[in-house]
Amino acid sequence: MSVPEDRPRIRTVSTRVAYRNPWMVLREDAIERPGPDGVPRPGIYAVVEKPHSAVVVPWDGVHLHLVGQDRYPLGRWSWELPQGAAHAPDGASSSIDDHAEIARAELREETGFEAGTLTRIGDLAFAPGMANQTFTAWLATDLRPGPPQPEAEEEGLLVQRAVTPEQFDAMVDDGEVVDAASIATWHLARRHGLA
């Protein structure tokens, strides 16, 4: 279902960077919202900018493979599917434009697996009300094991766990898996015939 082309849109009046680090940019935009009477209404919008990323379901035919880590912003442990973005040292997107290569790199970094087959199963947005980050969901099969190759910031922080589809669903039900991208990607994998 598409939105009619004549539907008014929010217009950016000005923008300023409020914060920047190697992983994200926070900007504040002065905007004009369409008013019900046709008169624009001024406002502000905070936007988190992050590069496109990948979320991967590593499937060995019996188990999907999760990565666990301490998620500082949540103040808790989190079990997730392997995921991440390509970054350049200054925080801009790297030259890796191939989304499949991002998926392969994240899978290798976080689990050590190489995927013999990588299938795109969907495209989603993380938090479209506040961030521009999108991700491609992937199903990785024909897995070949190898040693994980974590980034420096993840060194010593990641653990792995192989679970059946039923165990993953129970982990979601029990609140052990709360990562929305992992849950959405698993849903897409199931819609594509997995488990």
Predicted TM-score of the model (pTM): 0.88
pLDDT digits (tens, 9 = 90+) for 21-78: 988 999 999 999 998 888 999 999 999 999 999 999 999 999 999 999 999 999 999 9
What is the pLDDT, as a whole number, of residue 107? 96
In a shared domain, residues 17 and 112: no
pLDDT digits (tens, 9 = 90+) for 111-159: 999 999 999 999 999 999 999 999 999 999 999 999 887 777 766 678 8
CA distance 120 to 74: 29
The percent of the chain in helix, strand and coil, each rounded to the nearest 5, is 20, 40, 40
In a shared domain, residues 39 and 126: no
CA distance 111 to 131: 27
The residue range of the domain holding 22 is 11-49
pLDDT digits (tens, 9 = 90+) for 75-119: 999 999 999 987 654 444 454 458 899 999 999 999 999 999 999
CA distance 100 to 118: 7
In a shared domain, residues 37 and 112: no
In a shared domain, residues 116 and 20: no
In a shared domain, residues 92 and 182: yes
In a shared domain, residues 79 and 97: yes
In a shared domain, residues 22 and 75: no
Domain count for the chain, please give it.
2
Largest CA distance in the chain: 61
CA distance 163 to 120: 22
The verdict on residue 164 lying in a domain is yes
What SS3 class is residue 190? helix
Q: Residues 84, 96: contact at Cβ < 8 Å?
A: no
